Amino acid sequence: MNAHLFSQVERLAEALLSAADQDDETLFYQLYEQLSSLCELHAGKKSDHPLFLETLADFTEDSVDAVALYQRAFLIADSLKENEYKASIQFSLAQRLAELGEMDQAKDALATSEKFASFTDDDELKGEISALAGTLN
């Protein structure tokens, strides 16, 4: 992913967090639509990257919609052989599936997350995976 696109996604994510903190729903949804448009603009192109959809899913209120976005993001991460993204996407997917009461699927996603995290140096994510595993069992 080029630095300009990464920066654009990062700025939108920070602005979304700020809007949420300020309970500014109008601004939040405007920013969410900008991020969604950015995702669609790059979908299927060489510039497509799992960060787009993972970030959009993170800010998606409806867990069913978020699950679909995480699944799409995982396919992109898998095609790029990006273990760190695959691990974090599967972790977030597990959280959302647990929210939906889909415990078996959540456990499967968490196991997949743990597998891919083992190929990374992301100790923080590994700790979060362990903590979530304790709540799912």
| 17-32 tens-digit pLDDT | 999 999 999 999 999 9
Write down the pLDDT at residue 114.
98
| Domain 3-136 top-level CATH class | mainly alpha
Distance CA 58, CA 63 (A): 10
Residues 49/42, Cβ–Cβ less than 8 Å: yes
* CA 100 to chain CA centroid, nearest Å: 16
Q: What is the dihedral of CA 113, 118, 120, 126, to 10 degrees?
A: 60
Residues 92/122, Cβ–Cβ less than 8 Å: no
| 33-55 tens-digit pLDDT | 999 999 999 999 999 999 999 99
Angle at 94 between CA 92 and CA 97, to 5 degrees: 110
Helix/strand number for the chain, H first, E second:
7, 0
Q: Which two tokens stand for residue 51?
A: 């960060």
Q: How confident is the model at residue 137 (pLDDT cuts 50, 70, 90)?
A: confident
What pTM was computed for the model? Answer: 0.93
| 55-107 tens-digit pLDDT | 999 999 999 999 999 999 999 999 999 999 999 999 999 999 999 999 999 99
Any idea where the domains of the chain sit in the sequence?
3-136
